[in-house]
Amino acid sequence: MKSKLLACPYIVWMILFTIIPLGIVFYYALTDSVTGQFTLANLAGMGNYLPIFLRSIWLAMFSALICLVIGYPVAYFIAQCKPTTQRFLEMLIMLPMCMSFLLRTLAWVAMLEDTGIINSFICAIGLKPLPLIRTNGAVILGMVYNYLPYMILPLYSVIMKIDPRLIEAALDLGCTPRLVFSRVILPLSGPGILSGITMVFVPAVSTFYISQKLGSPGTTLIGDVIESQFKTAYNPNLGAAMSLVLMVLIFICVAVMNRFGESDGEEVIAKV
């Protein structure tokens, strides 16, 4: 009984700041802005923004894959270090996260803009400045830089839990180090890969500040459209409908992660 009472503050918090806001989103997404009656017109109106929606998914997924390519070797290296070194490297990875997200993005603006640090150096050595900002590449760079720790930390926590006896058993059975990695370590780190991809994809697909500062009108993302619906277009119903679709997409990602992340480890252990 006491344990249930201790959960009451959490339940109240979830009702006030999660359930009620979600209910408001559902209400606005499924009602008319003038009459307040039930309608699916807001969801149907998202068809006009389908290219932007697909671009957001593509850039977010591409950023997540780049984070995986960069983050997996880093996480694996940290997991092989001594405990004191691991703690130091973890601190270095989390240190940029202590700085404001806005400041980190603005720092890249200062580096990539036409008169920024990189182009100033290029001009100083007699070369023409490069179009580094206001491109898809700049937006992806901003996503990778800001969300890379979200990939490294889940991978590191999963790789750390791999039983070294499984690796020893695979080596004793004649596996080469490459086979040990591909058949034991990589499959066992599958839950971390899925978790990292989800943790990078979810904020990247809904971001708007990175695309505003590093992108151009041609790199507008769905987060920019949602913000404009609330701030400039004054159509919160359409903005809520877009938010609802993003929410469903996030739930699908979490469901896939839970479905496939639980069985990977058991299957690999059975094979070994």
pLDDT above 70 (res 20): yes
* Average pLDDT estimate for 175-204: 90
Q: Compute the average pLDDT of residues 183-203.
A: 90
182, 148 contact by CB (below 8 A): no
What pairs with residue 38 in β-bridges? 31
Q: What is the pLDDT of residues 217-226, one digit of tens each?
A: 888 899 999 9
The predicted pLDDT at position 268 comes to 45
Q: What is the pLDDT of residue 270?
A: 46
What confidence tens digit (pLDDT) does each residue in 152-176 have? 999 999 999 988 888 888 888 888 8
What pLDDT shows up at residue 1? Answer: 60
Give tens-digit pLDDT for 105-146.
999 999 999 889 999 999 999 889 899 999 999 999 999 999
Q: Residue 266: pLDDT above 60?
A: no
List, in sequence order, the alpha helices (H) in 81-221. 83-94, 101-112, 117-124, 136-160, 164-172, 177-180, 186-188, 190-205, 209-214
Tell me what pLDDT residue 262 has.
53
pLDDT tens by residue, 227-247: 999 888 888 899 999 999 888
List pLDDT tens digits, range 53-100: 999 999 999 999 999 999 999 999 999 999 999 999 999 999 888 888
What is the full DSSP assignment across 103-119?
A: HHHHHHHHHHSTTSHHH
Q: What is the DSSP string of 42-106?
A: HHHGGGGGHHHHHHHHHHHHHHHHHHHHHHHHHHHHHHHS-HHHHHHHHHHHHGGGGS-HHHHHH
Q: Is the pLDDT of residue 253 over 90?
A: no
The helix or strand, by DSSP H or E, that contains position 130, with its residue range, turns out to be none
